[in-house]
Amino acid sequence: MKGKTQRPLPELLKEYEIPAGIFPREATNYEFNEGTKKLTVHLPEICEITYRDASIVRFNNTVSAHIEKGKLDEIEGMKTKVMFLFITVSVILFEQTEIHFTAGLRRTRPRNAYEAIRDGIGIDKF
């Protein structure tokens, strides 16, 4: 907005009940559309954070998300390490004592491989 001083990102996050430490310290430049609630955070370089619980989150130069009280969704530009892979984060829910990351793999496969009906093979555990 013209003529309006942008408040620090941690203050905006606090207003939405999101911990300021979710983004790296270097994330000082951002855009926020109050009408659509779209937040775009700009970082000087691709980076990652290892948090106190040993979880690792990687950030692209630009991270965008829809923000609401206690939630970031439609996230683009953020990944979390699961085992040996970095998986795209799509949603983060912030509760009083926990944070829930929704992350998943997306893999493209040929449709014709799934046209024929096949027998299932029994297994012990799901």
Please, are residues 106 and 86 in contact by the beta-carbon 8 Å criterion? no
Round to whole Å and give the CA distance between 57 and 44: 16
Q: pLDDT tens for residues 69-96?
A: 999 999 999 999 988 889 999 999 998 8
3-state secondary structure of 12: helix
Q: pLDDT tens for residues 5-51?
A: 689 999 999 999 999 999 999 998 999 999 999 999 999 999 999 99
In a domain, 116, yes or no: no
In a domain, 76, yes or no: yes
Range of the domain at 49: 9-105
Please, are residues 61 and 26 in contact by the beta-carbon 8 Å criterion? no
Is the pLDDT confidence value at 108 over 80?
no
Alpha carbon separation from 54 to 5, 15, 25, 80, 126 (Å, rounded):
36, 27, 18, 11, 28
pLDDT bucket at 106, cuts 50 / 70 / 90: low
In a domain, 48, yes or no: yes
Number of compact structural domains in the chain: 1
In a domain, 83, yes or no: yes
Round to whole Å and give the CA distance between 126 and 123: 8
In a domain, 87, yes or no: yes
- Output the domain CATH number for residue 26: 2.30.240.10
pLDDT bucket at 4, cuts 50 / 70 / 90: low
Please, are residues 23 and 11 in contact by the beta-carbon 8 Å criterion? no
In a domain, 92, yes or no: yes
